Structure 1
Amino acid sequence: MLPASLNGQVAIVTGGAGGIGLGIARRLAQSGAIVALADLSLDAATRSAAVLDAEGLQAAPVAMDVADEAMVEAGVAEVVARFGRLDILVSNAGIQIVHPIEEYPFAVWKQMLAIHLDGAFLTTRASLRQMYRQGGGSVIYIGSVHSKEASRLKSAYVTAKHGLIGLAKVVAKEGAAHGVRANVVCPGFVRTPLVEKQIPEQARALGISEAEVVRNVMLRETVDGQFTTVEDVAEAVHLFASAGSSALTGQSLIVSHGWCME
């Protein structure tokens, strides 16, 4: 039985309607949290919240484009007005688009950074105001092994994921006086639709088979040739969210089957 260590806490998970976000939301809710599924698609968030409700968990949908300042402010305010507090922000929303640097469209570059970095900043800023008022909270960014390493064709993604570590360190320093911690979870490849989409894209761009992309690009550096799972990531998020010590802040935890080691 999972421990109910987050009883009474309220969490926002961006990109929470599916994939890693939904897995994180489920894990936090299993530990007693009330979880707001913030997603670009309110319909998808509503369906996912209903699934969690049917499992006996507490979840609510929230419409949010993380790159839209007004929507972020309204979404966070909606959660606070409904539940009276905000204890955990999981900044998870993201996309992936691959191009060689010399062919990378500037509009796509800006889109990638807007979702990953602007979104992290906007949701953090809105959440910190409430966390500061109530005297504490936990901000958790979903980075990547690409927060530490680089891969071909992913210039915007690697840049954005590196940036999340810098943002977390600043939030950890500024938030300490208010009881707020900030950390980053850095997964390896998780076989979500986002990754499934990359396999044929990289096969075309690199001129290799899809099987070779999986074996020689995605999993080559792991110790056991295994994908990271949604549950692996969710457990790492839960670790940061439920930590009872103010010492655990400004850190990044790699969850990648040994792909990257520190």
Structure 2
Amino acid sequence: MNTKLETSDLRWMNYPWDEVSGFDDDSNSVRTLQICTPSSPSSYWLRTRWIPRQTATTLYVELRFTMMECAGLNQRHCKETFNLYYYQSDSDEATPTYPPWMENPYTKVATIAADHLLRRDIERRDGERRTNLKLLRIQALRGAGLYLAFQSQGTCMALLAVRVFYRKCPPIRRNFAFFPETIPHSLVEQAQGVCVENAMTPPGEPSKTPSMLCGEDGQWVGQPASSCVCRPGYEAGDGDMRCRGKTLQNKSTLRMLKE
């Protein structure tokens, strides 16, 4: 999910956040959500639509927001933080009143504080950036999907963009073995590969499926635990990515010499 790609109503449940149109740093039209209740200690909630997690068990939530400094608002209930929660479900079951607008049954991710605050009494200088960017991780997910919920208790802020994503290691060929796209479910995930066409396990070694580690950051780690070699009559092509026939290569060389 990426709200920066949305140009119409997000259709999020809000109580009572305001959704407005604005422009990002590249002058693209975006939908933003705002709230300013520094005089009230009550909880004000905002909930996303249902987000399917596919096969990922770890999701990352990237938040971009601005927040007003409490000193300039002069309100006793003002806060410079807000809370992020999530609720898991196997289907899109939410209604305007369910899950209820309270901490239970949500799971808290974090209390988020702003690194940069806006001040009402100081005019913003040209080029000065006062947006905040936070990246949070939600682990051990089990349901088919989830909702994110934002809780404001006296903040004056604008939620500029929300992006939800997971990381994966792309398909790769290495040491004459092919490893498919792999989604890590822990610090490292062991991926099983296969020898590429015209490659096999080295003679004299026990037959063992090639394996390689996929890191939680979506990067392959190290080298394959076992290697494949080209079959007799074939040789390396494109480094260690494929095996090509020696006969075809020799014919090509002879043809080039004749020319």
When normalised by structure 2's length, the TM-score is: 0.27
Higher helix share: 1
Higher strand share: 2
Larger Rg: 2
**Structure having greater relative contact order (Cα 8 Å, sep ≥ 6):** 2
When normalised by structure 1's length, the TM-score is: 0.27
